[in-house]
């Protein structure tokens, strides 16, 4: 896969198939080879150029020719699944791995999947280990008969909730050099909103396969999880949720699903929601309503995929995760899991500078874990050395900064900002500090934290400053009180010669104080 852009562990890429190029991140809508309420032309019109269908079901129902003919669409890129989902649901499928591979070669899709053994949500480690070993055995067996010169072949990674087994499965799978790797068995966790479990599984798999190889997440098509999964390294998805929800009168949103009969106003402006009202859809026939709801659901999925791509391009994928995390408690749990368990891993993948990046939005709290913010903050704390020509420290909020803000004469301007803490003026224009927007009303806990960081900065370079002038907003009175106490304590205990601590309170929208 050719990588075009990246942010966090997510990327925009191009996956070349014999039927055309798929731009990732991408979701394959699941197509029933016999029963499909939403016409493929409508799916293509929404913006989906590739679909996935079930080779086992197509063959079982009597189809013995190219799968594009069954779907009556030569323009679409088609991926075939092997029947492993039916194996997970019913325990058996009546064919073996070699037979499925020959069936898929007969159907001639652009992308095909071997017949793996899904781990599912089992808590039985012995069972999970067997699914890993058996899937790997089948993968090795497949190498003898797959035709990689004619299509891309997918090897699923198993292990379920046992992340050490996922790591082992991924490591062994990587030695077999398939075109695409896939993470199996997330469906039950998706249904239970156990997104943090899925993120741990993705990390375990992504860390042990070659970075140039795409990673597919089976059965994860709800827009809620897509930005988080992409941020962790997922390139491809597939899902039937758009049509399954529609059959059950469920209306997809970025926050969850709504019952159509409970909706008064559509919170969406897609072509379906712009043309019809909830009441009008309810009065339609089951068949017509299902098709329209399914099309709306795909529009929602398409929107969040595009939003995720744009966030990658602009270097603000972390901000999108913060925004999404406030839409559902399970997403906030997912974000907190990333902050606790995956933050350092994210930092390894995140580019320091992006040519098309725009200014970020800095909030107290979760923005602390933005890799770029953490990186520049670490530089200031560990590597920055101020010029030795200043005698006074002039401390003020970063949003008092003007375009030509700089230290003058004996005054060394030190801005303070949420999350960043102390920012010397000469660094205030570098990315991402100078391109970001900061909140002005800062909570009490954050004010105390900023006060401590300013005090530590002053202590570190105490030989430079004999006087400190604080220019703050009335709303930051806790910060000024805490900072004065900290500096006075240092004066008593360390013998620091601070001749005067002067405090000026200013309006938030004033920039006059930056002229010194």
Q: What is the pLDDT of residues 249-302, one digit of tens each?
A: 999 998 889 999 999 999 999 999 999 999 999 999 999 999 999 999 999 999
Within 10 Å of residue 10's Cβ, how many Cβ atoms? 28
Q: Is the peptide bond before 25 cis (omega within 30 degrees of 0)?
A: yes
The answer to whether 13 touches 24, Cβ cutoff 8 Å, is yes
Res. 499 pLDDT band, cuts 50 70 90: very low
C-alpha span between 31 and 71 (Å, rounded): 9
Give, in order, the Cα–Cα distances in Å from 79 to each of 28, 72, 221: 8, 14, 16
- Residue 273: predicted pLDDT: 97
User: Which residues, including other chains, have CB under 8 Å from residue 485's CB and lie 6 or more apart?
Assistant: none
| Per-residue pLDDT tens digits for 48-95 | 999 999 998 898 888 999 999 998 888 899 999 987 666 655 556 678
20: which 2 tokens? Answer: 């055309």
Residue range(s) of every CATH 3.20.20.105 domain in the chain: 2-349
Report, as residue numbers or ranges, the catalytic residues: 81
Count of all residues that appear for the chain in the document: 516
What's the distance, Cα to Cα, between the start and end of the chain in Å? 54
Domain 2-349 CATH superfamily: Queuine tRNA-ribosyltransferase-like (3.20.20.105)
512 pLDDT more than 90: no
Start-end of H helices in 72-121: 84-90, 97-107
- Residue 505: predicted pLDDT: 42
- Residue 356: predicted pLDDT: 60
- Residue 407: predicted pLDDT: 65
C-alpha span between 358 and 432 (Å, rounded): 9
């Amino acid at each position: 896969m050719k990588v075009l852009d990246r942010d966090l562990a997510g990327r925009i890429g191009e996956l070349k198939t014999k039927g055309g190029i798929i731009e990732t991140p991408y979701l394959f809508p699941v197509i029933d080879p016999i029963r499909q309420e939403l016409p493929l032309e409508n799916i293509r019109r929404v913006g989906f150029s590739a679909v996935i269908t079930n080779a086992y079901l197509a063959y079982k129902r009597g189809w013995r020719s190219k799968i594009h003919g069954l779907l009556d669409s030569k323009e679409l890129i088609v991926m075939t699944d092997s029947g492993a989902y039916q194996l997970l649901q019913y325990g058996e499928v009546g064919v073996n791995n070699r037979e499925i591979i020959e069936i898929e070669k007969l159907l001639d899709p652009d992308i095909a999947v071997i017949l793996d053994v899904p781990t599912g949500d089992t808590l039985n480690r012995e069972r999970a280990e067997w699914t890993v070993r058996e899937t790997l055995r089948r993968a090795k067996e497949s190498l003898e008969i797959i035709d990689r010169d004619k299509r891309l072949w997918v090897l699923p990674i198993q292990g379920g909730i046992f992340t050490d087994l996922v790591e082992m499965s991924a490591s062994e799978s990587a030695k077999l050099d398939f075109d695409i790797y896939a993470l199996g068995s997330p469906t039950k966790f998706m249904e239970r909103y156990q997104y943090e479990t899925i993120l741990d599984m993705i990390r375990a798999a992504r860390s042990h396969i070659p970075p140039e190889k795409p990673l597919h997440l089976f059965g994860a098509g709800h827009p809620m999880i897509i930005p988080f999964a992409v941020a962790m390294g997922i390139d491809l998805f597939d899902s039937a949720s758009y049509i399954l929800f529609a059959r059950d009168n469920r209306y997809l949103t970025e926050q969850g699903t709504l019952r159509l009969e409970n909706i008064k106003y559509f919170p969406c402006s897609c072509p379906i929601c712009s043309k019809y009202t909830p009441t009008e859809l309810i009065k339609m026939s089951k068949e017509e309503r299902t098709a329209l709801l399914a099309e709306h659901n795909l529009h929602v999925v398409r929107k969040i995929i595009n939003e995720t791509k744009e966030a990658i391009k602009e270097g603000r994928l972390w901000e999108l995760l913060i925004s999404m995390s406030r839409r559902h408690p399970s997403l906030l749990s997912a974000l907190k899991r990333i902050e606790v368990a995956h933050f350092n891993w994210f930092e390894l993948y995140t580019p320091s500078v992006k040519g098309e990046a725009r200014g970020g939005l800095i909030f107290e709290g979760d923005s602390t874990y933005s890799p770029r913010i953490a990186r520049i903050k670490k530089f200031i704390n560990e590597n920055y050395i101020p010029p030795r020509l200043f005698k006074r420290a002039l401390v003020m909020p970063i949003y008092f900064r003007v375009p030509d803000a700089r230290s003058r004469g004996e005054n060394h301007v030190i801005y303070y900002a949420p999350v960043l803490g102390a920012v010397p003026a000469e660094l205030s224009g570098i990315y991402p500090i100078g391109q970001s927007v900061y909140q002005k009303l800062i909570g009490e806990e954050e004010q105390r934290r900023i006060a401590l960081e300013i005090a530590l900065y002053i202590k570190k370079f105490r030989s430079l400053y004999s006087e400190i002038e604080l220019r703050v907003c009335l709303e930051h009175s806790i910060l000024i009180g805490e900072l004065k106490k900290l500096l006075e304590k240092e004066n008593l205990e360390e013998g620091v010669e601070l001749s005067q601590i002067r405090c000026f309170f200013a309006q938030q929208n004033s920039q006059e104080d930056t002229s010194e």
